[in-house]
Each structure stands twice: as C-alpha cells, then as structure tokens.
Structure 1
C-alpha cells in the first residue's frame, strides 16, 4: 500500500517538481537531479509526509531548498574559477531558439532566490499565496511583497511596461 501510494505520487508530481527546479536553476539536467533528490527525501519520510495532508507542498519546499543550496554552491564554484582565471566570459551565451523564453529565464535567474521562488510558484505553478507561504515557510505577507517586488523587477529587467501596469505600477521598491 505504501509503495503504491508513493509510486502514484511520484508519477503525478515528478514532472512538475522538475519543472520547478528548472525554473529556479535554468539547468535541465540539474532540475531532474534536484527533483529526484526531493522525491528521495519524500520517500524516506513518506508515512509522515502523507499523513501531513499535502505531500506536493512538502516536495516543492524540498525542491526550493535544494535549488537554493545548488545555486549557492554554483556561485562559490564560479567565484573560485574566476579567481583562478579559468572562467572568462559567460558560458551560457547560446543562441536561443525561442528568444523570449530564454530572456525570461535569464531575468528569473537575476532575482534573489526567495523572490524568484515566490514568482515561479505563484505564476508558473498558479499556487495561492497561502500555499507558497507554506512551501517556503514564510508569512503570506512576505509572499505578497516578494511576489510583487519580483514581478516589478522582472518587468524592469524585461523592459515591459505593460507588466508593471498590470501589477500596480512601480513603487520604487
């Protein structure tokens, strides 16, 4: 019974968890690994997670934490490589097939982790503010402010005045 319940959960949520990790990291293979790591963690605590009520929220929270840690490690590694003179220009300069999607992806990567997590969970996953607060273990007010600031920052980065108007205008935050 336990195995079947987890297997059904895995089948239903793996792709979404991987997509969340991709939107947070910008790396397909890393996203798959992070989703798998999150599901491993869920499996290890499955009885407790399933009893808590919303295993998907728990799994998203794990993905958010794993991506934050991955991003930190990448930043430290890049700084060390730059200090050694190994890393020159931007390695991600690939001619995009779909310029708008890649532009948004790059803009997302500029946002601070919590802001990016709020924007991605709210808009890409269409989760409620309460769900995002639960996943990230922050207050609903923090979700509101981080989402608003993230949307404004994305609009500025993308030069899209219509986005700014839709989210209430720039308040200088």
Structure 2
C-alpha cells in the first residue's frame, strides 16, 4: 500500500476517533484543554505505528488504551507535583476539612475522586457507551475486571452524588 493510501487511512481514522479520544481524555483527567493535547499526542504516537496498527483487529481500542495510559501518566505526574507543593507548604495552617457539598454534586469532581481504573471503566461504559468487551480491550484488562471496576465505581459515585444523581448518569446512557 502506498504512503498516500496509509496517510488517507490514518486521516480517516483521525476524523472518526479524535473527538471521542479527546472526550475520553477529558473525563479521565478533568482538564478540557489538556484533553485535546492528550488526544493529539496519542494520535501522533499512533501515526508512528500506523503501518502495523492499521491491520490490527481493533485499532480504536488500541487508541483508547494509548489515551488511558497517557492520561494515567499525566494524573500521576500531577499527583506527584501536588504532593511536592503540599510538602513545601506543610508548615502553613491547614484548610478546613469539611467537604464543599455543592462541589460534591458535580459529576466531574466525583469522577476525579475515583481511582483511575474505576474512573476509566465508568467513563468508557457510561459516558462513551462502550460494551464491556470494548472497554476491556481499551484498557487491556479482562471483562470481569471491567464488570467489577464499573460496579464499584458506580457504587462510589452513588455514595458521592447520591442515588438519584448516579441513576441519572446511567439513565442518560440508556436513552
């Protein structure tokens, strides 16, 4: 296949999946601007492997996995940075520990409180409406892991948001 054919295939793949990958990155990281960058970085990485990837059975699942791994690294890096800053300012008076109840209702903030794998499973299953099998492929885990992590993640969201708000999240998925 000629280079221009491969380039056209990748362009088509990009057009089909960029928005979904950016949305996925946004829901994983909570950063709107950073999500576009993350999706673009992932697609650049895919372009470098496109000669092998275009013949893969599930290139979109592979792309989601790349975004998930990049998001995980970004989140971990941010956590490490926050810890360094917190350590630096640790001799300052502490802020009040009482939760801001209005902020807890925000789904994005509640998602941000979930551990990464639970968050990724909930987002892929309920926000992006992927099947359990597609979610497992994207994250490189078993279907059983997707089921358990999604269930636990939804239970945690229900605890954080209240049953009605979490139920509305699922209801939007089934419409």
TM-score (norm. length: structure 2): 0.82
Of structures 1 and 2, the larger Rg is shown by 2
Matches within 5 A, 1:77-92: 77-85=81-89
Structure 1 segments of 4+ aligned residues over 6 angstroms from their partners: 86-89
Give the structure 2 partner of residue 128 of structure 1. 131
Which whole-Å CA distance do the structure 1 matches of 2:52 and 2:151 have between them?
34
Which whole-Å CA distance do the structure 1 matches of 2:9 and 2:24 have between them?
22
Match 2:115 to one of 112, 121, 124: 112
- 3-state SS of 1:38 partner: helix
1:77-111 per-residue CA deviation (whole Å, 9 max, x = no partner) reads 0111111129987xxxxxx9xx89x7000000000
- 3-state SS of 2:141 partner: coil
Match 1:143 to one of 143, 146, 149: 146
Are 2:17 and 1:13 equivalent residues in the alignment?
A: yes
Give the structure 2 partner of residue 50 of structure 1. 54
Return the structure number with greater relative CO, CA threshold 8 A, min gap 6. 2
Structure 2: gaps spanning 5 or more residues: 96-101, 171-175
Which whole-Å CA distance do the structure 1 matches of 2:165 and 2:78 have between them?
34
Total equivalences in the alignment: 157
The structure-2 alpha-carbon separation of the partners of 1:129 and 1:80, relative to structure 1 and needing over 3 Å to count, comes to same
